[in-house]
Structure 1
């Protein structure tokens, strides 16, 4: 059962709490630490993206379409809809001989509030390229083109693209495919339901592929990891926790969010994967939870911890700027 991880205080009294489950696993599958129920099953949401792109990479998609590491990073992103992200969507689709009309993720408000405001001022509609999952969908379309299968229906579970990704996700998590249930993600494609322990194990294998028993896939997994670490701004966006964390740790910690506050981290030098799920799905809890967990496990230095707190303060202020409370971890 999940346990209380964060207290939000006001006037020295607890006003709100966030419960969580945490699994910490090494690349061999050893359980390092857990909080709450480390075996809890949950939808992996967008944190599964690094493994969904694996079929395209291992089949030679980089070479066939001339994809850059930046474009690979975009395919695993949950991006903010900034100009760089929009340009990458157009660039990838151009390389696979498609246009944004092929994207079936749906138009969405950009996660970057400044971009959303600018579009409103200019009376421009939100587009599919602003959708945080347009990178993943671009990769799916690239795979469909590579396989020479119809792009129509590429979001359906029965489509060859989704079946290959389903199997890759299962392989990455060291689970039989039939043991992973599916639902529908916010962008219309299958989403995977599995224990957070296996998610953490997959991230440990991702950040240290030489210890992850990937076999022939090892170098392809390394490409995905290195692309994410080289382009943290692409993976998320300006002032986002994923991006800031990877920048502050200079690529030592890999990070990827999923909707409903499922979150995955990996320590590259240690080969440790971390998955936590905030029980109520609150996005506000993600950064303080991630920082607290990394501090607890001694995976960030004192200076890195301070730098993160400067960007994601644990002090709560009101609209006048008065300090009125704190965010406190129980670990």
Structure 2
């Protein structure tokens, strides 16, 4: 079957009473024990984690002792697992992290793109961005810290066969419950490997991140998961940014209940910490079929959280402008709507 046949309609765009466009996708909600409690579309569809892999790419940094060895902070760890907006708080933190391990920005191999934060990008202009503004610069700095700690070559840390990348791949596969050799990989936008898993496995990974099962993981890995989650919750602005970032806003609004991490090409992932409602925690994975990163991805995630009773009325009210949007003409008049139309089952 094709991806089109396996994807469910998630959002409709209307003009008047006519549906003008539809966005399709897949959603999986999985407990820490691996039980699928809600779904939509083909959750066995294989696609790339993209930046949703970042918390798992940081596990060997923490579990190996490199994080403690260099005296890195929770704030820096949040930056390492984030897709930052390229604001000054982020670029200065990456520079400081690199200095801590005896390096500078020239060691980074993530490439250059304009800051995700529009105000910063406008201020810098088309020629002003540096490698530090890349949303993955924190991740790459973390990889370099692990290289430095283990004594590996720094010049090719981005290569798939580098010891650091092989170690990362091992952890990603373990959290997805697949054999490393069975996991397909590709090259991410920042030049390091990215990993292909099913939508269900994405959700499982995040459930395991927030609630690793007793006896399933060695203590350094369990401790690393706890530190990563703690860092994301303590410094959500380092995971995303100070404005216009749903991941940051959700973590601030949810008051410690969940972590949120976006991935490119329409991916969004959430880990819900164990509580009375979900004693084994939850992992949530959303994939928008057409790769939308702006118009509907966040809208779909908010609706998933609403249907799972993970946001109260006050939190939903704070997100009202992102839950559904008007379609306007060039005179500013509302002529249609963009709204979620799905129901999890």
Q: Same fold (TM over 0.5)?
A: yes
1:46 and 2:46 correspond: no
Q: Does residue 247 of structure 1 match 2:252? A: yes
Cα deviation for residue 324 of structure 1 reads: 2.3
Structure 1 partner of 2:3:
none
Aligned partner of 2:172 in structure 1 is 169
Aligned residue in 2 for 1:204: 207
Select 1:231's aligned residue among 231, 235, 245: 235
Is the Cα–Cα contact under 8 Å of residues 8 and 26 in structure 2 kept in the other structure? yes
Structure 2 residue 320 is matched with structure 1 residue 276: no
Asked if structure 2 preserves the Cα contact closer than 8 Å seen for 1:85 and 1:234, the reply is yes
Deviation at 1:255, TM superposition (A): 0.6
Specify the SS of the correspondent of 2:233.
helix
Structure 1 CA distance, aligned partners of 2:79 and 2:35? 31
2:60 to 55, 59, 70: 55
- Deviation of 1:253 (Å): 2.1
- Give the structure 2 partner of residue 113 of structure 1: 118
The normalised TM-score by structure 1 is 0.96
Change (3 A) 1:52 1:212: farther
Distance in 2 between the 1:155 and 1:102 partners? 11
Equivalent in the alignment of 2:225: 221
Deviations 1:144-199 (A, max 9, x none): 10111111111100001100111111112121111210000000010101111111
Cα distance in 1 for partners of 2:163, 2:253 equals: 39
Matched positions, count: 329
Paired position in structure 1 for 2:305: 294
Q: Summarize the Cα distance change of 1:189–1:322 in structure 2 as closer, same or farther, 3 Å threshold.
A: same
Q: Which residue of 2 aligns with 1:24?
A: 29
State the Cα distance separating 1:319 from its structure 2 match. Answer: 4.6
**2:13 is paired with a residue of what secondary structure?**
strand
Extract unaligned runs of 5+ from structure 1: none
Structure 1 stretches of 4+ moved >4 Å: none
Is 2:200–2:285's contact at 8 Å kept on the other side of the alignment? yes
Counterpart CA distance in 2 for 1:309 and 1:316 is: 15
Cα deviation digits, residues 229-266 of structure 1 (max 9, x gap): 11111101122111111111122121100100111012
Query: Residue 135 of structure 1 aligns with which residue?
Result: 138
